[in-house]
């Protein structure tokens, strides 16, 4: 479904208004298709919480929300450390190499928010993959995608990017040295501190 991704992009880039009903005819005009594919996409997006009900009929982009951002960070911390624990013994140098390749791609300065979020996920994913647990991985991916609505702030106004890259490097070093406990702990700190940073920002705004 290609349309779904176009709508996701528009949500991530704030090109769709939050908190107001999205009209099917407006969307069908906007994306140049009829209402049927629009409906298909809206149903899927609703199920993944990209959209929420607006009144008795119709959907809207949910407003950014401090508590949701916190919850996503908490859940990611719990589940990603779980994935790392299961992965640890099976992490090969190929996984680490792949992670490094995404890390260097993240150095580029001309990335869109979406590309940055995508690369960030791929980086983590390269390591977690070794856990060989598709259901767990999918859940973590869903959380990351949902979190990416908030991620924009981190890489934008907050300038959290450099600090994050630094932690990523440390993390890969710990993994290479087989320091399991330390790597798990750093990952938890990494996710939670990014979450804290973000919730501080949202409290002010």
Partner DNA sequence: AAGCATTAAAATGTATACATTTTAATGCTT
Q: Please report, as ranges, the residues that interact with DNA according to CB under 7 A.
A: 3, 21-25, 28, 33-37, 39-40, 54-58
What span, in angstroms and rounded, lies between the C-alpha atoms of 114 and 152?
Answer: 8
Residue 140 Cβ vs a copy of itself, minimum distance, rounded to whole Å:
9
Residues 80-99 that bind a copy of itself (CB under 8 A): 82
Closer to a copy of itself by CB, 67 or 93: give it.
67
Is 36 near a copy of itself (CB under 8 A)?
yes
Q: Is 40 in the site for a copy of itself (CB under 8 A)?
A: yes
Residue 141's region, left for phi above 0, alpha for psi from -120 to 50, else beta, is: alpha
Residue number, 39 or 178, with CB nearest to DNA: 39
**CA distances to 4, 90, 102, 130, 134 from 93, in Å:** 35, 10, 14, 11, 21
Q: Is residue 79 near a copy of itself by the rule CB under 8 A?
A: yes
Distance of closest approach, residue 68 Cβ to DNA, in angstroms: 23
Q: Are 116 and 160 in contact (CB under 8 A)?
A: no
Residues 135-194 that bind a copy of itself (CB under 8 A): 135-136, 138-139, 143
The nearer residue to DNA, 25 or 177, going by C-beta atoms, is 25
Q: How far is the CB of 134 from a copy of itself (least distance, A)?
A: 7
The stretch among 24-32, 104-112, 134-142, 172-180 that binds a copy of itself (CB under 8 A) is 134-142
| Whole-angstrom distance, CA of residue 188 vs CA of residue 80 | 8
The CB-of-41 to DNA minimum distance in angstroms stands at 9
Q: Are 44 and 4 in contact (CB under 8 A)?
A: yes
Contact, 34 vs 28, CB < 8 A?
Answer: yes
Please report which residue ranges of 106-156 form alpha helices under DSSP H.
Answer: 113-128, 134-155
Q: Which does 161 bind (CB under 5 to 8 A by kind): DNA, a copy of itself, none?
A: none
CB 103 within 8 A of CB 168: yes
Judged by CB under 8 A, does residue 74 bind a copy of itself?
yes
Rounded CA separation 30/6 (Å): 11
């Amino acid at each position: 479904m290609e349309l779904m991704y176009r709508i996701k992009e528009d949500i991530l880039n704030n090109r769709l208004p939050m908190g107001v009903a999205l009209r099917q005819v407006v969307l069908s005009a906007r994306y140049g298709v009829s209402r049927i594919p629009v409906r298909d996409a809206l149903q899927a997006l609703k199920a993944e919480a990209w959209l929420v009900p607006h009144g008795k009929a119709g959907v809207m982009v949910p407003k950014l929300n401090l508590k949701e951002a916190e919850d996503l960070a908490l859940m990611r911390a719990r589940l990603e450390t779980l994935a790392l624990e299961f992965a640890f013994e099976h992490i090969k140098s190929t996984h680490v190499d792949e992670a490094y390749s995404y890390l260097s791609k993240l150095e580029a300065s001309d990335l869109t928010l979406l590309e940055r979020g995508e690369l960030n996920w791929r980086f983590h994913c390269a390591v977690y993959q070794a856990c060989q647990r598709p259901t767990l991985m999918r859940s973590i991916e869903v959380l990351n995608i949902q979190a990416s609505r908030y991620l924009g702030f981190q890489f934008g106004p907050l300038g959290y990017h450099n600090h994050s890259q630094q932690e990523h490097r440390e993390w890969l070093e710990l993994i290479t040295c087989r320091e399991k406990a330390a790597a798990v702990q750093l990952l938890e700190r990494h996710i939670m501190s990014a979450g804290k940073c973000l919730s501080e920002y949202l409290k002010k705004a």
